[in-house]
Amino acid sequence: LYRHVATEASQATLASVSPVFAVMKFDKEGNTTYFEKKKTELYQELGLQARDLRFQHLMSIATRNNRIIVRMEVLKAVVTPEFLLILDYRNLNLEHWLVNELATQLAGEGQLVTCSLPFEFRAIEAILQYWISKLQGRLNTLQPQILETLEALVDPKLLSVDRSKLHILLQNGKSLSELETDLKVFKETILEILDEEELIEELCLSKWTDPQVFEESTSGIDHAEEMELLLENYYRQAEDLANEARELRVLIDDSESIIFINLDSHRNVMMRLNLQLTMGTFSVSLFGLIGVAFGMNLESSLEEDPRIFWLVTGIMFLGSGLIWRRLLSFLGRHLEPPLPPHVPAVLKKSQPTAGRVEIKSNLKAEAFGLSRST
C-alpha cells in the first residue's frame, strides 16, 4: 500500500511539472484561436503518444494515428484533416508569418496551388513554402555579400589582402555552409518520403476519413499522386537553391586559389629581389678585397702615384658590375625554364604520309632498275 501511494504521488508530481505548449489553432476557414495546454493533455486529445511531441529532430515529417507531425527547427506543427496546430509559436519572425500569411493561405485566399484539395494539402504546402522562402531569403542575403567581398579581394591592383575582408568572407562562408546543411537535410527529408509509396499514402489524411474524398480518389483523382507532385515541386526548388549555393562555394574556392597565386607571385618577387641584392653585395665584397689589400699599411711604390686610387676604384666598380651582371643572367636562365619547341600539327600528320610515299618511290625505283637490268 505504501509503494502504491508513493507511485501515485510521483506520477501526480510529474504530471504537474509537464511542459506547457503555447498553441495556435487554424481551422479550414482560416479562423485562429490561441490557448495553452499541457503536453499530457494535448497528446491525449490528439490520440498520440508522448514521444510524438518530443520534436527531437531538426527536421522531420511523419504520420501518427492519422496525424501529420512536422518539425522544421523552430516550427512545430501537427496537421489533422480538420485543423492545424502550431506549437510554441512565440517567435517574432514566425508569429509575423502566422498572423499575416498562414491564415489566408489555409482559407484558400492565398497563392497556394492546392486550394481545391483537402485541408492537409494546403497546410503542408504552406509550411513547405514558408521554409523554402526562408532558405531563399538567407541565400539572397549571402549572395551579394559574398560576391562583393570576392570582387574586392581578387582585385589585381591590390598588393596585399585586406584582413577585414577575409574575416567577412570567413563569416559568410560559415553561413553558407549552414545553409547548405539545411538544404541537404530538407532534401533528404522529402526524398525519404518520395521513396516510400506508403508514406505518401499516409500523408493523404482525408482520403481515409472523408468518404467523399475517398470516392474522388477512386474515381480518378489520385490524391497520393497530387501529394507526390507537391513534394517533388519543393524538392526541385530546394535542389535549385542547393545548386546556387554550390556555385557560390565554387566561386569562393576559385577566389581562394587566385589569392594564393597572387600571394605566391608577390612572395617570389620579393625573394628574387632579395637574391639580386645578395648577388650585388657579393660582387662588391669580392672586388672590395683590392681596397682591403691597399688599406693594409704595407709599403709599396704604388701609393706614391696619385692616379692609382682612381684606377683601383674604377677596376673595383667595373669588376663588381660585370660579375653582378653575369650572376643575374645566370639567375634568369635557371629561373625561367625554356619553352618546348613548337611542332606544327600539320607537320606531325604529314610525316607518316611522307614516309610512306618515300618508301613507295624507293620500291618503284628498285623495281624499275631490276627490270632494266633484266
What domains sit in the chain, N to C, each tagged with a CATH number?
A: 20-263 (1.20.58.340)
Of the candidates 93, 95, 106, the residue with the CA atom closest to the CA atom of residue 138: 93
Number of H-type helices and E-type strands within the chain: 12, 6
Mean pLDDT of the chain: 76
Which of 173-177, 222-226, 298-302, 317-321 has the highest mean predicted lDDT (pLDDT)? 173-177
The interaxial angle of helices 119-153 and 223-295, nearest 10 deg, is: 10
More confident residue, 333 or 5: 333
What pLDDT, on a 0 to 100 scale, did the predictor assign at position 372?
42
Which of 40-54, 135-149, 194-208, 305-319 has the highest mean predicted lDDT (pLDDT)? 135-149
What pLDDT, on a 0 to 100 scale, did the predictor assign at position 300?
65
Q: What is the pTM of this model?
A: 0.67
Which of 111-125, 150-164, 281-295 has the highest mean predicted lDDT (pLDDT)? 111-125
- pLDDT above 90 as % of the chain: 15
Q: How far apart are CA 231 and CA 200, in angstroms?
A: 9
Contact 287, 281 (CB under 8 A): no
Contact 126, 105 (CB under 8 A): yes
Q: How far apart are CA 267 and CA 169, in angstroms?
A: 23
Work out the pLDDT band at 188, boundaries 50, 70, 90.
very high
236 pLDDT exceeds 90? Answer: yes
Residue 344: CA count within 13 A, CB half-sphere: 4
Residues 6+ apart with CB under 8 A from 50: 39, 40, 43
Residue 199 vs residues 19, 63, 194, 254, 312: alpha-carbon distances, Å: 30, 8, 8, 42, 98
Q: H or E segment at 72?
A: strand 67-72
Torsions phi, psi of 307, nearest 5? Answer: -85, -10
